[in-house]
Amino acid sequence: MSSLLPPLKLPPSAALGESLPPAAHRILHAISTCTSPAQLPLIQSQILVHRLHPNTTVASAFINVCLTLRRLSPALSLFSLLHRPHVFLCNTLLRALLLLPSSSPSLPPLFLLSHMLRSSVPPNRYTFPVVLKSLPRGDLPRGRMLHALSLRFGLTSDLHVRNSLLHLYATAADIPSSEQLFDEMPAPDVVAWTTLITGYAGRHRPGDALLAFERMHFAGVVPNRVTMVSALVACAAHGALDVGVWIHDYIRNRGWKLDVVLGTSLVDMYSKCGRIDAGLEVFWSMAERNAYTWNSVIMGLALAKCGREALQWLSRMESEGVRPDGVTLIAVLCACSHSGLVEAAWQLFDAMVAGKYGFRPGIRHYGCMVDLLGRAGLLGEAVRFIEAMPFAPNVVIWGSLLHGSRAHGELSFSELAARKLVELEPTNIAHYVVLSNLYVEMGRWLEAEEVRRFVKESGLRKDPGWSLAEPTTGVEECVAL
């Protein structure tokens, strides 16, 4: 990799405004008519024969045709001969590496930026957005290094650079840095607002996402489709039906076409907010649907405890040629669980085990079955099912058994589940509280006192609880200390 881009420090190549000799025009014509990767070595040899590789116009055209034909090796070979390439040429190659990373996995854009700096080629405002976008998700150390470099070159005032940095911090879950960077922007555009809203929604902070969406509206910034999708995700998570309806009205009033992403977001929002009727209306109005759209409807039916309807929609989904995925079957199993359809759930689960859907059930499918058996009062069968699982039972599995056994007054099964929860999460005080209360109900006072003493001596504390309500004035959050 170091031999491909040697850090030579020679005089810079010709500027962009240079005149083109006749040979350059012939080569540019060959580049513009090139349709096969087999022609690239011949064009490259002609560039070298006529010593046109330092010419930025010719070199950038050659890089672009290599990108179009998905063969970057000739472009990299030509670039390696340049002593001090023009920044425009570097940016052209950076974009090619970003768009076609598989062509040269050993040469990430960040390495090319390092070569630019060693070659005394100062990056500009087009350089940093490409390099920032090329970083792996959550790569904060390199992201902060690039932030420092952009400060050093005085480029952080550029809107595109700021938006790229904002996207870096938001996707890396560094919300404080995102907020600071956003607050320093004199006039955030729709991209900046959308990035902030998406960052909040992705970090399970839907209330903050909706507040940012409201601030954006009052700032007079017009939202785009991506903004609305992120806001609808926040509405679904926060139960903010009124905001979701407002977004739907906004979309209709402006005549936006419901593509599969925006339409699915509306269906999901209505389904999770308990308006399955409105979700179905959106569903039928969509010209194109995918598995996510169907899943949103089926999950809405599961939340509404409409098990038989969910099974019918699964059959309809298959009849229309849409292949159910793991999420689809989780939704149907949840619907069966809430509706007490034990036999139907077993048939579906056995079909998964037999490979009907192309995959084996995962731990979430097993969790749905435990919840189903627990709700139905089949607690012994639930325990045998857990013991036969191909996975180690997690907190959700034992929590489902605890919920079912408590609902049916089966204290022995409740004790088993509570003890398993304590083993899995020894620092979660809620499990000790449940276990202590169980011992009290069973008249086992000494054991209840032992649990309480252990909690006190261990210094465990209970976190505040919270709940949501949607009165006429909007969504409110209640905290119990």
Residue 383: which region, alpha, beta or left (left: phi > 0; alpha: psi -120 to 50)?
A: alpha
- The average pLDDT across 429-442 equals 91
Q: Cα separation of 7 and 119, whole Å?
A: 6
**pLDDT for residue 6:** 25
Instruction: Name which residue leads in pLDDT, 84 or 225.
Output: 225
- The average pLDDT across 177-196 equals 93
Tens digit of pLDDT for each residue in 275-327? Answer: 999 999 999 999 999 999 999 999 999 888 889 999 999 999 999 999 999 99
pLDDT at 461 over 80: no
- 465 φ/ψ angles, rounded to the nearest 5 degrees: -100, 160
**pLDDT for residue 5:** 26
Going by pLDDT thresholds of 50, 70 and 90, the confidence category of residue 15 is very low
DSSP reduced 3-state for 476: strand
DSSP reduced 3-state for 478: strand
Q: Are 130 and 94 in contact (CB under 8 A)?
A: yes
Largest CA distance in the chain: 99
**pLDDT for residue 167:** 92
Q: Cα separation of 24 and 376, whole Å?
A: 79
Q: Which residue in this structure is represented by tokens 């090319």?
A: 112
DSSP class of residue 186 equals: S
**What tokens does 428 get?**
């979660």
Instruction: Name which residue leads in pLDDT, 80 or 381.
Output: 381
Residue % of the chain over a pLDDT of 90: 59
pLDDT at 342 over 60: yes
Residue % of the chain over a pLDDT of 70: 91
Q: Are 342 and 373 in contact (CB under 8 A)?
A: yes
What is the amino acid identity at position 372? Answer: L
Q: Cα separation of 447 and 451, whole Å?
A: 6
DSSP letter string over 397-441?
HHHHHHHHHHHTT-HHHHHHHHHHHHHH-TT-HHHHHHHHHHHHH
The domain ranges of the chain are 1-122, 391-481
22: Cα within 13 Å, side-chain hemisphere? 0
- The average pLDDT across 415-427 equals 93
Output the CA angle 257-224-219, nearest 5 degrees. 140
Q: Are 128 and 155 in contact (CB under 8 A)?
A: yes
pLDDT at 147 over 50: yes
Buried b (16+ CB within 10 A) or exposed e, 279-313: bbebbeebeebeebbbbbbbbbbbbbebbebbbeb
Tens digit of pLDDT for each residue in 189-245? Answer: 999 999 999 999 999 999 999 999 999 999 999 999 999 999 999 999 999 999 999
- 221 φ/ψ angles, rounded to the nearest 5 degrees: -90, 125
Average pLDDT value for the chain = 87
pLDDT at 398 over 80: yes
What is the amino acid identity at position 307? Answer: G
Q: Are 300 and 271 in contact (CB under 8 A)?
A: yes
User: To which H or E segment does residue 469 belong?
Assistant: strand 465-469
Q: Cα separation of 406 and 123, whole Å?
A: 64
- The average pLDDT across 434-445 equals 92
DSSP letter string over 252-294?
HHTT----HHHHHHHHHHHHHTT-HHHHHHHHHH-S---HHHH
**pLDDT for residue 190:** 95
pLDDT at 14 over 80: no
DSSP reduced 3-state for 177: helix
Which top CATH class is 391-481? mainly alpha
Measured torsion, CA atoms of residues 125, 131, 134, 140, in degrees rounded to the nearest 10: -100
pLDDT at 449 over 60: yes
- List of residues 6+ apart from 321 with CB closer than 8 A: none
pTM: 0.78
Tens digit of pLDDT for each residue in 39-61? Answer: 888 888 888 888 888 888 888 88
pLDDT at 2 over 70: no
DSSP letter string over 321-376?
TPPP-HHHHHHHHHHHHHHT-HHHHHHHHHHHHTTTTSS---HHHHHHHHHHHHHT
Work out the number of other CB atoms within 10 angstroms of the CB of residue 140. 15
**pLDDT for residue 295:** 94
